[in-house]
Structures are given as C-alpha cells and as structure tokens.
Structure 1
Amino acid sequence: MTKFQNTLKRLLRVAIGGRWGIFAWSLSGASALAVVLWGLKTVAIPLLMVKTASWGIWGLGVIRESKARTP
C-alpha cells in the first residue's frame, strides 16, 4: 500500500506542477478575482497575458516535476 500511496502522491504532484504549478494556479486565481472585481471589459487584454503566462508556468512545473527523481 505504501508504494501505491507514494506513486499517487507523485502523480498528484506532477499534475499540480509542484511549486511552480502552485504559483501558476495562484496567478490564475488572482486574475479570476480581478475579473470579478473590475469586470471582463476592463481587464480583457491583461487577463489574456496573465492566463498565457500562468499556463506556461504550469507547463514548466509539470515538465520539471515529471523529470524529478523520487528519493
């Protein structure tokens, strides 16, 4: 069971993207909060830039975590 739990933890960490992924998810949440506060018309262009950056950061985190070796 321990091996299964370790594998599950590793897969979850890869799906989230590790530390970089958590940062990207936070950035994405902040942009969603900006839309709620100021409206979509006000933040449309910055929203596209932030969402593009957060997807890129998340992708890098996923690649980094998938290549990391487990102890």
Structure 2
Amino acid sequence: MDEETHPRNERSDGQDAAVVACALCSASVNSETPPATWTCSVENGSRQYVCDTCARTHIRAIESRLDSAWW
C-alpha cells in the first residue's frame, strides 16, 4: 500500500507540510492524518475528507450514500 492518503504541500523551508482540508468548507488542519471526527469518502477515484461540522450538517446524505453533488 504505497499510495498517499492525503495531499502534501511543500513549505518555504523545503520540508513537506501535510495539510488536510475539508472538501466542502475548506477548513484545514496541519497534520499527517485528519482528526478522528472527520469523515472520509472516495469519489471519482480520489479521497476526500469532510470536517465534523459539515458531516453533521449533511449526515443524512452521507448515510444515504448520495453523491456530494446532491448535497
């Protein structure tokens, strides 16, 4: 399993800085992994994360497995 689970951005000092961002509201955390309260989905072959606030707002659509375009 050599695939990356999140995008990596380069910092100005040349080191990698991992940033995980919400696909809906663009809230972000500077972490290698998203917080445990965030939701992860795979759409069109790419992994997307949704923050806990957006997940609570759209919980019925998420549990119904509706495409995020319908939210």
Higher helix share: 1
Higher relative contact order (CA 8 A, sep 6+): 1
Length-normalised TM-score, structure 2:
0.22
